[in-house]
Amino acid sequence: MRNGTARTHGAPRNSRLRADAPQTDDLSRPCDRPGCAAHGGFRAPKSRRSLNDYYWFCLEHVREYNRAWDYYKGMSPGEIESEMRRDTTWQRPTWPLGRIGLGPDERVADPFGVLGNAKPAPARETTEIPAELRSPLATLDLPWPVTRVEVKRAYKALAKRHHPDANSGDKAAEDKLKTINAAYTTLIRVLPAGG
């Protein structure tokens, strides 16, 4: 017992592996290097095709093997490029942006066409604009049908732009703001709540 802590019998002081610590406790395993009788405690992959099949070398020969190891040896530049691209996604399949990967009909909604080949958002139903809403909709520059959220968004943007404080007290801006306020009030009264 040192500094108030008991040390379990047989447990190593430092559990971290050292670079030169053998990777096996099998002392009967000889080094796979021809002519070497030392303990083969360090593994090295036999080839890039069989990374789980190992040679077992002594420390000196595994270091020599590692210095000479070239994963890409024998590959063409195209094969190397392909391998590197697959490595960037951890050898997992990927799909083009906008596709989920389940099939060509499973696509992300892209109403602005940013993703190119994605299907557009469903079009709004076109219905006759009520006569009393034509002027307020034109004032707020909104299409019909419209939701409360769209009305509020348009109102905030226009009120900020035409507010007298933002226009040095301009009388025309003040009159425009009064028209915007009236249009907003009319539309909010008519539209159903929650929409």
What topology does CATH give the domain 131-190? Helix Hairpins (1.10.287)
Q: What integer pLDDT is reported at residue 52 of this predicted model?
A: 84
Contact call for residues 23 and 41 (beta carbons, < 8 A)? yes
Average of per-residue pLDDT across 16-40: 77
Residue 97 has pLDDT above 90, yes or no: no
Rounded to whole angstroms, what are the CA distances from 132 to 21, 37, 78, 183? 86, 99, 68, 10
Q: What integer pLDDT is reported at residue 114 of this predicted model?
A: 72
Residue 10 has pLDDT above 70, yes or no: no
Q: Quick one: tokens of 124?
A: 């709004």
Q: Please, is 89 exposed, middle or buried when counting C-beta atoms within 10 Å of its C-beta (0-12, 13-18, 19+)?
A: exposed
d(CA 156, CA 135): 18
Boundaries of every domain in the chain: 24-93, 131-190
Q: Look up tokens 């951890």; give the residue.
A: 90
Q: What integer pLDDT is reported at residue 153 of this predicted model?
A: 92
pLDDT in tens, 114-172: 766 545 555 555 578 888 888 988 998 888 888 899 999 999 999 888 888 888 888 88
Lowest mean pLDDT among 3-17, 96-110, 124-138, 166-180: 3-17
Q: Quick one: tokens of 91?
A: 């050898």
Q: What integer pLDDT is reported at residue 131 of this predicted model?
A: 84
Q: What integer pLDDT is reported at residue 31 of this predicted model?
A: 92
Peptide bond into 136 cis (omega under 30): no
pLDDT in tens, 49-95: 888 888 999 989 999 999 988 888 888 999 888 888 888 888 777 76
Residue 46 neighbours by CB under 8 Å, 6+ apart:
53, 54, 55
Summary count for the chain: helices (H), strands (E): 5, 2
Q: What integer pLDDT is reported at residue 71 of this predicted model?
A: 84
